[in-house]
Amino acid sequence: MHKIIQNEMISANVGRMVVEAAYVAEKRKAGQFIILRIDEKGERVPLTIADADPSKGTITLFYQVVGKSTRHMSTLKAGDSLRDIAGPLGHPTEIKKYGTVACVGGGIGVAPLYPIVGAMRKAGNRVVVIIGARNKDLLILEKELGAIADEIVTCTDDGSYGKKAFVTEALAEVQSKEKIDLVVAIGPVPMMRALSRQTEKDGIKTMVSLNSIMIDGTGMCGGCRVTVNGERKFTCVDGPEFDGHKVDFDELMARLGTYKSSEKTSSDEFDHTCKLKGVFNER
């Protein structure tokens, strides 16, 4: 059992949970994730480790309320417990001195950027953070990321806060001012696809963290399979980060679409608007 130290909603549908997991807190590295179960009958929920405190034996998780399990998580209080936490899982982000690194996050994807930004700064890089959301109420961690980044650019689709722009447009503006040596992108798949196509034209190395369907976290179920550079990979054991220029995003989006409701989501809206703006074209 893993005791919950803190659990709060930080926006309309995003929660922040601090939970005891001493082994994970000691061993985790930027970019890795865990899989949790709330109780014996609960489903397995993969979440990126946003932060950790080895001295207290705690990890910080962010989750988006989208289904039964995450709704259940949002009702838990300090003092309650999670049944299982497995991790740390996946390969950590390759941290080294690149030069100038642009870390781009969209929606809940902003959360896993936090440890990556800190690690990249510690390695001696200049780090520019670009975060985006549909509106001001859905933005998270702006203050925290701003405190550890060299520069932060905040944008919203509707212009309710920061720049009225997509993260792709914000990145293009940064590129016009300085040379970018690496882009790390985490967010909705259409966003990562658009960024990858944009940076590929300019020859900028781009790493994306894929949020594919995941169940067991060991590569046995095959639910998180993705094609990278023409080869079959499993996000849970081979990733979660891959070269964005080599990921078959169209295949990934088709697979994810199998599990989506018919209601239009923010990812659909981003995809549609990017097509209108010419960020990428249909194949």
Q: What is the CATH number of the domain that holds 18?
A: 2.40.30.10
Alpha carbon 129 to its chain's center:
13
126 and 254 within one domain? yes
Same domain? For 139 and 260 the reply is yes
What pLDDT, on the 0 to 100 scale, is given for residue 218? 76
Biggest CA-to-CA distance, the chain? 53
Question: Do residues 78 and 137 share a domain?
Answer: no
Looking at residue 12, what is its pLDDT?
A: 77
Burial class (CB in 10 A: 0-12, 13-18, 19+), 145: buried
Tell me which of 89, 117, 143 is where a domain ends.
89
The runs of H, that is alpha helices, within the chain are 22-27, 68-75, 113-122, 142-148, 167-175, 189-202, 235-238, 249-257, 266-277
**204 and 107, same structural domain?**
yes
Query: CB within 8 A of 267, min separation 6: which ones?
Result: 188, 189, 190, 191
Does residue 66 share a domain with residue 147?
A: no
Amino acid identity for residue 187 in this structure: G
Measuring CA to CA, how many Å separate 55 from each of 25, 30, 139?
A: 9, 17, 29
Is 132 a domain residue? Answer: yes
Walk along the chain (283 residues) and give the pLDDT tens digit of each residue: 999 999 999 887 889 999 999 999 999 999 999 999 999 988 899 998 999 999 999 999 999 898 899 999 999 999 999 999 999 999 999 999 999 999 999 988 898 899 999 999 999 999 999 999 998 888 889 999 999 999 999 999 999 998 999 999 999 999 999 999 999 999 999 999 999 999 999 999 999 998 767 777 777 888 888 999 999 999 889 999 999 999 999 998 888 776 654 444 444 444 444 444 444 433 2
Number of domains the chain contains: 2
For residue 255, what pLDDT is reported?
81
Same domain, 205 and 239: yes
Residue from 52, 82, 60 nearest 15 by CA: 60
Amino acid at site 239? G
Same domain for 160 and 28: no
34 domain-assigned:
yes
236: containing domain: 100-277
Cβ neighbours of 102 (radius 10 Å): 27
Q: pTM score, two decimals?
A: 0.85
Kindly state whether residues 107 and 81 are assigned to the same domain: no
pLDDT of residue 259: 60
Secondary structure letter of residue 8 according to DSSP: E
Closest CA to 172 of 104, 236, 125, 77: 104
Q: Rounded to an integer, what distance in angstroms lies between the CA atom of residue 210 and that of residue 187? A: 8
In a shared domain, residues 108 and 25: no
Please check whether residues 83 and 156 belong to one and the same domain.
no
Asked if residue 43 lies in contact with residue 6, where contact means CB atoms within 8 angstroms, the answer is no
**149 in the same domain as 73:** no
